[in-house]
Amino acid sequence: MRIAIVQNHPAFGEKKSNVEALIKAVGSVKADLFILPELSYSGYQFLSREEAFNLSDDMKAPCLDALRNTAARNSAALVFGFPEKSKGKIYNSSLAVLPDGREYLYRKTHLFYKETLFFSPGDLGFTIFDYQDAKIGMAICFDWFFPESFRSLARQGAEIIAHCSNLVMPYCQRADFAQAVQNRVFIATANRIGVEARESETLRFTGGSVLVSPKGDYLLEGPPDAPAVLAAEIDPRLAKDKQLNPYNNTFKDRRPEFYL
Protein backbone atom coordinates (compact mmCIF):
# COMPACT_ATOMS: atom_id res chain seq x y z
CA MET A 1 0.00 0.00 0.00
CA ARG A 2 1.25 3.43 -0.89
CA ILE A 3 0.75 6.00 1.90
CA ALA A 4 1.03 9.75 1.43
CA ILE A 5 1.25 12.44 4.08
CA VAL A 6 0.15 15.97 3.26
CA GLN A 7 1.83 18.72 5.29
CA ASN A 8 0.02 22.00 4.66
CA HIS A 9 -0.09 25.66 5.67
CA PRO A 10 -3.75 26.68 5.91
CA ALA A 11 -4.72 30.35 6.17
CA PHE A 12 -7.03 30.86 9.15
CA GLY A 13 -10.69 30.82 8.17
CA GLU A 14 -10.06 30.58 4.41
CA LYS A 15 -11.84 27.28 4.09
CA LYS A 16 -12.49 27.27 0.35
CA SER A 17 -8.95 28.09 -0.74
CA ASN A 18 -7.48 25.78 1.91
CA VAL A 19 -9.59 22.89 0.59
CA GLU A 20 -8.51 23.73 -2.95
CA ALA A 21 -4.85 23.58 -1.87
CA LEU A 22 -5.45 20.19 -0.22
CA ILE A 23 -7.12 18.87 -3.37
CA LYS A 24 -4.15 20.03 -5.42
CA ALA A 25 -1.72 18.38 -2.97
CA VAL A 26 -3.63 15.09 -3.15
CA GLY A 27 -3.57 15.22 -6.94
CA SER A 28 0.20 15.76 -7.01
CA VAL A 29 1.22 12.19 -6.10
CA LYS A 30 -0.18 8.71 -6.56
CA ALA A 31 -1.11 6.90 -3.34
CA ASP A 32 -3.76 4.57 -1.90
CA LEU A 33 -4.15 6.44 1.39
CA PHE A 34 -3.59 10.13 2.13
CA ILE A 35 -3.29 11.42 5.70
CA LEU A 36 -3.94 15.15 6.11
CA PRO A 37 -3.50 17.34 9.21
CA GLU A 38 -5.91 18.10 12.06
CA LEU A 39 -8.42 20.94 11.32
CA SER A 40 -6.92 20.73 7.88
CA TYR A 41 -8.83 23.53 6.17
CA SER A 42 -10.18 25.78 8.96
CA GLY A 43 -7.10 26.94 10.85
CA TYR A 44 -6.57 26.30 14.54
CA GLN A 45 -6.50 29.37 16.78
CA PHE A 46 -10.16 30.24 17.35
CA LEU A 47 -10.87 33.31 19.45
CA SER A 48 -14.31 32.32 20.67
CA ARG A 49 -16.70 29.42 20.66
CA GLU A 50 -18.93 31.38 18.31
CA GLU A 51 -16.11 31.77 15.81
CA ALA A 52 -15.30 28.06 16.05
CA PHE A 53 -18.98 27.18 15.59
CA ASN A 54 -19.31 29.42 12.54
CA LEU A 55 -16.27 27.81 10.91
CA SER A 56 -17.47 24.28 11.70
CA ASP A 57 -19.13 21.95 9.23
CA ASP A 58 -21.93 19.44 9.46
CA MET A 59 -21.70 16.23 7.46
CA LYS A 60 -23.44 17.81 4.44
CA ALA A 61 -20.99 20.72 4.12
CA PRO A 62 -19.47 21.57 0.70
CA CYS A 63 -15.89 21.24 2.07
CA LEU A 64 -16.58 17.62 2.99
CA ASP A 65 -18.21 16.94 -0.36
CA ALA A 66 -15.19 18.40 -2.16
CA LEU A 67 -12.88 16.02 -0.28
CA ARG A 68 -15.25 13.07 -0.81
CA ASN A 69 -15.13 13.78 -4.55
CA THR A 70 -11.34 14.00 -4.39
CA ALA A 71 -11.16 10.52 -2.85
CA ALA A 72 -13.37 9.11 -5.61
CA ARG A 73 -11.53 10.95 -8.41
CA ASN A 74 -8.09 9.82 -7.21
CA SER A 75 -9.22 6.27 -6.29
CA ALA A 76 -7.66 6.86 -2.88
CA ALA A 77 -8.76 7.05 0.74
CA LEU A 78 -8.34 10.39 2.53
CA VAL A 79 -8.24 10.93 6.29
CA PHE A 80 -8.48 14.60 7.22
CA GLY A 81 -9.20 16.72 10.27
CA PHE A 82 -12.08 19.23 10.33
CA PRO A 83 -14.19 21.15 12.85
CA GLU A 84 -17.47 19.26 13.06
CA LYS A 85 -20.75 20.66 14.30
CA SER A 86 -23.42 18.27 15.43
CA LYS A 87 -26.54 18.92 17.53
CA GLY A 88 -25.27 22.29 18.75
CA LYS A 89 -21.87 20.89 19.80
CA ILE A 90 -18.51 21.26 18.08
CA TYR A 91 -16.01 18.42 17.86
CA ASN A 92 -12.42 18.38 16.67
CA SER A 93 -12.96 15.48 14.27
CA SER A 94 -11.37 13.52 11.49
CA LEU A 95 -13.16 11.86 8.63
CA ALA A 96 -11.97 8.95 6.52
CA VAL A 97 -13.51 9.00 3.05
CA LEU A 98 -12.93 5.93 0.91
CA PRO A 99 -13.15 5.72 -2.86
CA ASP A 100 -16.00 3.20 -2.61
CA GLY A 101 -18.10 5.75 -0.70
CA ARG A 102 -17.66 4.32 2.79
CA GLU A 103 -16.74 6.86 5.46
CA TYR A 104 -15.71 6.79 9.11
CA LEU A 105 -15.81 9.57 11.69
CA TYR A 106 -13.57 10.03 14.72
CA ARG A 107 -13.89 12.78 17.36
CA LYS A 108 -10.73 13.78 19.19
CA THR A 109 -10.70 12.11 22.57
CA HIS A 110 -8.03 14.24 24.30
CA LEU A 111 -8.49 17.96 23.73
CA PHE A 112 -5.38 20.14 23.96
CA TYR A 113 -5.08 23.50 25.73
CA LYS A 114 -7.67 26.10 24.57
CA GLU A 115 -9.48 23.53 22.43
CA THR A 116 -11.12 22.66 25.75
CA LEU A 117 -12.87 26.08 25.64
CA PHE A 118 -14.55 25.48 22.29
CA PHE A 119 -14.84 21.79 21.52
CA SER A 120 -16.67 18.96 23.23
CA PRO A 121 -14.51 15.92 24.00
CA GLY A 122 -14.93 13.08 21.53
CA ASP A 123 -17.72 10.66 22.41
CA LEU A 124 -17.16 7.92 19.82
CA GLY A 125 -14.11 6.12 21.19
CA PHE A 126 -11.27 5.14 18.87
CA THR A 127 -12.37 4.38 15.32
CA ILE A 128 -10.85 1.72 13.06
CA PHE A 129 -11.80 0.57 9.58
CA ASP A 130 -10.75 -1.91 6.89
CA TYR A 131 -9.15 -0.60 3.75
CA GLN A 132 -7.49 -2.73 1.07
CA ASP A 133 -5.43 -5.30 3.01
CA ALA A 134 -5.03 -3.24 6.20
CA LYS A 135 -6.87 -1.99 9.25
CA ILE A 136 -6.55 1.75 9.76
CA GLY A 137 -6.96 3.44 13.14
CA MET A 138 -7.83 7.11 13.59
CA ALA A 139 -6.30 9.52 16.13
CA ILE A 140 -5.91 13.29 16.36
CA CYS A 141 -2.87 15.19 17.57
CA PHE A 142 -2.76 15.34 21.42
CA ASP A 143 -4.22 11.82 21.58
CA TRP A 144 -0.58 10.73 21.05
CA PHE A 145 0.34 11.98 24.55
CA PHE A 146 -1.77 9.25 26.15
CA PRO A 147 -0.18 5.88 25.29
CA GLU A 148 -3.59 4.30 25.83
CA SER A 149 -4.80 5.93 22.58
CA PHE A 150 -2.50 4.16 20.12
CA ARG A 151 -2.55 1.04 22.33
CA SER A 152 -6.34 0.93 22.17
CA LEU A 153 -6.23 1.27 18.39
CA ALA A 154 -3.55 -1.42 18.08
CA ARG A 155 -5.46 -3.78 20.39
CA GLN A 156 -8.51 -3.34 18.16
CA GLY A 157 -6.33 -4.50 15.27
CA ALA A 158 -5.18 -1.22 13.72
CA GLU A 159 -2.03 -1.68 11.66
CA ILE A 160 -1.68 1.88 10.41
CA ILE A 161 -2.52 4.83 12.66
CA ALA A 162 -3.75 7.86 10.72
CA HIS A 163 -2.71 10.64 13.08
CA CYS A 164 -3.98 14.05 11.89
CA SER A 165 -2.05 16.74 13.78
CA ASN A 166 -1.49 20.44 14.46
CA LEU A 167 1.49 19.93 16.77
CA VAL A 168 3.00 22.80 18.71
CA MET A 169 5.11 20.84 21.24
CA PRO A 170 8.39 19.31 19.99
CA TYR A 171 7.97 15.72 21.24
CA CYS A 172 5.49 13.74 19.18
CA GLN A 173 7.58 13.05 16.09
CA ARG A 174 10.22 11.34 18.28
CA ALA A 175 7.68 9.72 20.62
CA ASP A 176 6.12 8.02 17.58
CA PHE A 177 9.24 5.82 17.48
CA ALA A 178 8.40 4.25 20.85
CA GLN A 179 4.69 3.90 20.18
CA ALA A 180 5.25 2.34 16.75
CA VAL A 181 7.72 -0.19 18.18
CA GLN A 182 5.74 -0.94 21.33
CA ASN A 183 2.51 -1.54 19.40
CA ARG A 184 4.16 -2.87 16.24
CA VAL A 185 2.13 -0.53 14.04
CA PHE A 186 2.80 2.07 11.37
CA ILE A 187 2.19 5.62 12.60
CA ALA A 188 1.55 8.38 10.06
CA THR A 189 1.62 11.79 11.77
CA ALA A 190 0.51 14.45 9.28
CA ASN A 191 1.33 17.84 10.75
CA ARG A 192 0.85 21.40 9.52
CA ILE A 193 3.37 24.24 9.41
CA GLY A 194 3.15 27.97 9.95
CA VAL A 195 2.28 30.45 12.68
CA GLU A 196 -1.04 31.66 14.00
CA ALA A 197 -1.02 34.79 16.20
CA ARG A 198 -4.61 35.94 16.24
CA GLU A 199 -4.31 36.98 19.89
CA SER A 200 -1.35 37.90 22.11
CA GLU A 201 -0.22 34.28 22.04
CA THR A 202 1.72 32.98 19.04
CA LEU A 203 1.30 29.34 18.02
CA ARG A 204 4.04 27.78 15.91
CA PHE A 205 3.21 24.50 14.21
CA THR A 206 6.18 22.20 13.95
CA GLY A 207 5.76 20.46 10.59
CA GLY A 208 8.17 17.53 10.38
CA SER A 209 5.43 15.05 9.53
CA VAL A 210 6.54 11.43 9.85
CA LEU A 211 5.72 7.90 8.83
CA VAL A 212 7.28 5.41 11.25
CA SER A 213 7.33 1.63 10.72
CA PRO A 214 6.65 -1.07 13.35
CA LYS A 215 10.44 -1.50 13.52
CA GLY A 216 11.01 2.18 14.27
CA ASP A 217 12.26 3.14 10.81
CA TYR A 218 11.42 6.69 9.76
CA LEU A 219 10.12 6.01 6.25
CA LEU A 220 9.07 9.62 5.67
CA GLU A 221 10.13 12.86 7.32
CA GLY A 222 8.80 16.26 6.27
CA PRO A 223 10.62 19.58 6.56
CA PRO A 224 9.93 21.78 9.63
CA ASP A 225 8.81 24.84 7.70
CA ALA A 226 7.51 24.07 4.20
CA PRO A 227 4.42 22.40 2.78
CA ALA A 228 5.11 18.90 1.48
CA VAL A 229 3.50 15.80 0.06
CA LEU A 230 5.51 12.70 0.94
CA ALA A 231 4.76 9.15 -0.11
CA ALA A 232 6.14 5.68 0.63
CA GLU A 233 5.21 2.09 -0.12
CA ILE A 234 4.57 -0.01 2.98
CA ASP A 235 3.68 -3.62 3.65
CA PRO A 236 0.92 -3.66 6.30
CA ARG A 237 1.75 -7.34 6.99
CA LEU A 238 4.72 -6.09 9.03
CA ALA A 239 2.23 -4.77 11.58
CA LYS A 240 0.20 -7.98 11.71
CA ASP A 241 3.05 -9.94 13.34
CA LYS A 242 3.05 -9.15 17.06
CA GLN A 243 5.61 -11.86 17.88
CA LEU A 244 8.91 -10.21 18.94
CA ASN A 245 10.87 -13.45 19.22
CA PRO A 246 9.82 -17.07 19.93
CA TYR A 247 9.16 -16.16 23.57
CA ASN A 248 7.63 -12.69 23.54
CA ASN A 249 4.42 -11.29 22.11
CA THR A 250 3.47 -7.61 22.18
CA PHE A 251 -0.03 -8.23 23.44
CA LYS A 252 -0.07 -11.73 24.93
CA ASP A 253 2.73 -10.84 27.38
CA ARG A 254 0.86 -7.94 28.89
CA ARG A 255 0.20 -8.22 32.65
CA PRO A 256 -2.90 -6.03 33.05
CA GLU A 257 -3.45 -7.31 36.58
CA PHE A 258 -0.46 -5.16 37.63
CA TYR A 259 -1.34 -2.08 35.62
CA LEU A 260 -3.23 0.90 37.06
* Catalytic residue numbers, as ranges: 38, 108, 141
Instruction: Give 159 or 196: the residue with its C-beta nearer to ligand ACM.
Output: 196
Q: Across the chain, which distance is largest between two alpha carbons, in Å?
A: 56
Quick one: which of 127, 166, 189, 213 contacts ligand ACM (CB under 6 A)?
A: 166
Quick one: which of 167, 188, 211, 220 contacts ligand ACM (CB under 6 A)?
A: 167
Binding mask 226-255 for ligand ACM (x = CB under 6 A): ------------------------------
Which span (27-35, 48-56, 96-104, 161-169) binds ligand ACM, by CB under 6 A? Answer: 161-169
Which span (67-75, 123-131, 162-170, 221-229) binds ligand ACM, by CB under 6 A? Answer: 162-170
Cβ-contact 172, 130 below 8 angstroms: no
First to last CA, the chain: 37
CB of 241 to ligand ACM, least distance (A): 31
Instruction: Give 94 or 127: the residue with its C-beta nearer to ligand ACM.
Output: 94
Instruction: Give 38 or 176: the residue with its C-beta nearer to ligand ACM.
Output: 38
Q: Confirm or reject binding of residue 112 to ligand ACM (CB under 6 A).
A: yes
Instruction: Give 32 or 196: the residue with its C-beta nearer to ligand ACM.
Output: 196
CB of 167 to ligand ACM, least distance (A): 5
Binding mask 17-46 for ligand ACM (x = CB under 6 A): ---------------------x--------
Quick one: which of 34, 126, 142, 150 contacts ligand ACM (CB under 6 A)?
A: 142
CB of 110 to ligand ACM, least distance (A): 8
| Interactions with ligand ACM, residue window 42-101 (CB under 6 A) | none
> What's the residue count for the chain?
260
Q: Between the CA of residue 70 and those of 8, 40, 180, 210, what are the distances in Å? A: 17, 15, 29, 23
Please work out the total of residues on this chain that contact ligand ACM, with binding judged by CB under 6 A.
7
DSSP string, the chain: -EEEEEE--PPTT-HHHHHHHHHHHHHTS--SEEE--TTTTT-S--SSHHHHHHT-B-TT-HHHHHHHHHHHHTT-EEEEEEEEEETTEEEEEEEEE-TTS-EEEEE-SS--TTHHHHPPPP-S---EEEETTEEEEEEEGGGGGSHHHHHHHHHTT-SEEEEE----SS-HHHHHHHHHHHHT-EEEEE--EEEE-SSSS-EEEE---EEE-TT--EEEE--SSS-EEEEEE--GGGGT--EEETTEETTTT--GGG--
What residue ranges bind ligand ACM (CB under 6 A)? 38, 112, 141-142, 166-168
